[in-house]
Amino acid sequence: MEHPENSSEYAGLQVNSGVEQPSIVNPYLKHGRFRRRELSVGEMVEGILKGDVTILSQAVTLIESVNPDHQARAQEVINKCLPYSGNSIRIGISGVPGAGKSTSIDEFGMHVLKVKGGKLAVLAIDPSSERTKGSILGDKTRMEKLAQHPSSFIRPSPSAGSLGGVARKTRETIILCEAAGFDKIFVETVGVGQSETACHSMVDFFLLIQVAGTGDELQGIKRGIMEISDGIVINKCDGDNVDRCQMAATNFRNALHFFPMPDSGWSPRVLCYSGFYGTGVKEIFDMIYEYVDFVKANGYFDYRRNEQSKYWMYESINEHLRLNFYNNPQIKAQLSAAEQTVLAGQKTSFVAAQDLLDAYFAQLRK
Ligand code: GDP
């Protein structure tokens, strides 16, 4: 429509009618012109072996996908990468939220890359569905220096599924990272619950980060976690916290005396450091490399990796059977009724479980 101010009354003032607004949808996207071509398994493996991080990321996404087709392709890629994997040092890093894991990993990573060179991948196992107190394990924004380092690859925890499922994906990702030439792998996990056991089952050295509290911190930490730790490090040993950290370290050392000698023959050590100021980090890595030399010499390094491979074979079987059972349409239909019979006291939990399993196996035999 002609603009009213274009009437002769306002001579000298010309208002143009404006231009049509472009669509907010990018037309090229609509035509799929920029859609990324799906790489074949062979191309993926070739890219990974060349150390192409973009292709490595795509392959990890396949591992994390729940789509059965993606899963099948992921397994092919993993199988082809397997012969090129294993040549790394895998370090598990655990600690409660706020212990300083991300601050420390940033510092640890920069240190180890500077001193030892090579390439570092940081992965994570975080089974909690609502993420750990708001922090996403393995999040790049929490490891600012490392995220910008050209030799680092940081990948947050796979999110979907059970702890077993999440951990298996991280374990598979380790294989791809190693095939891509990453010779140092950090696996970050949160030190509450079962996830540190899963983490322990895929690393060569398990490092537990602690903070000094009010002096009774030993009561709060589970015996099981201390037992699987190859090293305990007390963070935030800076400012007026130094004395408290050293006292905590002494407490931990005393407590460790009561544990039996681990199979590795290595007595776990306790060190203090500050992830924030980077003090004491060198000593931690000297310890880790000393451990690696020690267990490579006494054969425990290979023994532990073999045990882990066996463990993961059984874990995969368990996970597969579990999913197959729960995804069975007949079981799905009967599950909530079975729950009700247990709640109503009509059947014991064991009988209800047995009935469901009988129904499942009977169906398999058909
Ligand atoms: P995460 O949840 O275990 O990953 O812990 P963060 O790395 O996010 O650290 C939690 C808080 O502790 C942050 O406010 C850090 O700045 C602080 N922090 C971490 N390391 C140190 C340290 O060595 N000294 C001090 N004083 N504070 C630290």
97 Cβ below 6 A of ligand 1: yes
Q: Report the C-alpha gap between 256 and 7 in whole angstroms.
A: 93
The encoded tokens of residue 157 equal: 């925890």
CB of 252 within 8 A of CB of 234? Answer: yes
Edge-first strand listing for the sheet containing 120-125: 152-154, 120-125, 184-190, 89-95, 205-211, 231-235, 269-272
Q: Summarize pLDDT for 75-132 with one digit per residue, the tens.
A: 999 999 999 999 999 999 998 888 899 999 999 999 999 999 999 999 988 776 444 4
Q: Is 173 in the pocket of ligand 1 (CB under 6 A)?
A: no
What's the 282 CA to ligand 1 centre distance in angstroms?
18
Distance from the CA of 361 to the center of ligand 1, in angstroms? 51
What is the pLDDT tens value at each position of the chain, 366 positions in all? 566 666 776 666 676 777 887 777 777 665 655 566 788 999 999 999 999 999 999 999 999 888 888 989 999 999 999 999 999 999 999 988 888 999 999 999 999 999 999 999 999 887 764 444 445 565 667 788 999 999 999 998 777 567 777 888 899 999 999 999 999 999 998 766 678 888 888 999 999 999 886 445 555 566 778 888 999 999 999 999 999 999 989 988 988 888 888 999 999 999 999 999 999 999 999 999 999 999 999 999 999 999 999 998 998 888 889 888 998 999 999 999 999 999 999 999 999 999 999 999 998 888
In the structure encoding, which two tokens stand for residue 39, read together?
A: 């790489």
- What was the pLDDT predicted at 34? 57
* Alpha carbon of 228 to ligand 1 centroid (Å): 23
Q: How far is the CA of 103 from the centre of ligand 1 (A)?
A: 6
Residue 271: CB atoms within 10 A of its CB come to 19
Q: Which atom of ligand 1 is nearest to the CA of 103?
A: 7
Q: Which residues pair with 186 in a beta bridge?
A: 91, 122
Tell the residue number behind the tokens 């100021």, with chain if given: 277
CA dist 347 and 337 (Å) reads 11
Residues in the chain: 366
Cβ atoms of residues 158 and 92 within 8 Å: no
Q: CA angle at residue 302 from 301 to 303, to 5 degrees? A: 90
Whose Cα sits closest to atom 17 in ligand 1? 100
Residue among 207, 182, 257 at smallest CA distance from 92: 207
Q: Record the tokens describing residue 99, joined without a space.
A: 């212990």
What lies within 8 Å, CB to CB, of 49 at 6+ separation is 81, 84, 179, 180
Neighbours of 221 (CB within 10 A): 17
Regarding the beta carbon of 275 and ligand 1, being less than 6 Å apart is answered yes
Q: Scan for tokens 């071509």, then name that residue.
A: 37
- Nearest residue CA, atom 24 of ligand 1? 236
Contact 173, 74 (CB under 8 A): no
Strand (E) or helix (H) holding 112 = helix 101-116
Instruction: Report the nearest-CA residue for atom 19 of ligand 1.
Output: 100
* Best probe residue, ligand 1, of 103, 133, 273 (max atoms within 8 Å of C-beta): 103
* Nearest atom of ligand 1 to the alpha carbon of 135: 2
Q: Measure the CA–CA gap between 65 and 118, rounded to whole angstroms.
A: 29
C-alpha–C-alpha distance, residues 165 and 184, integer Å: 23
* Whether residue 100 has its Cβ less than 6 Å from ligand 1: yes
CB of 236 within 8 A of CB of 274? yes
C-alpha distances in Å from residue 241, one per residue of 122, 208, 211, 272 = 29, 19, 10, 11
Q: How far away, in angstroms, is 211 Cα from ligand 1 center?
A: 10
- Parallel, antiparallel, or unpaired for β 89-95 and 184-190? parallel
The pLDDT of residue 130 is 47
288 and 266 Cβ atoms separated by less than 8 Å: no
Question: Which tokens is 57 given?
Answer: 């990321």
Structure tokens at 159: 């999110």
Coil, strand or helix at 205: strand
Q: How close is the Cα of 365 to the center of ligand 1, in Å?
A: 56
Task: Label the pairing between strands 205-211 and 89-95.
Answer: parallel
Distance 98 CA to ligand 1 centre (A): 6
- pLDDT for the residue numbered 82: 93
CA 268 to chain CA centroid, Å, is 24
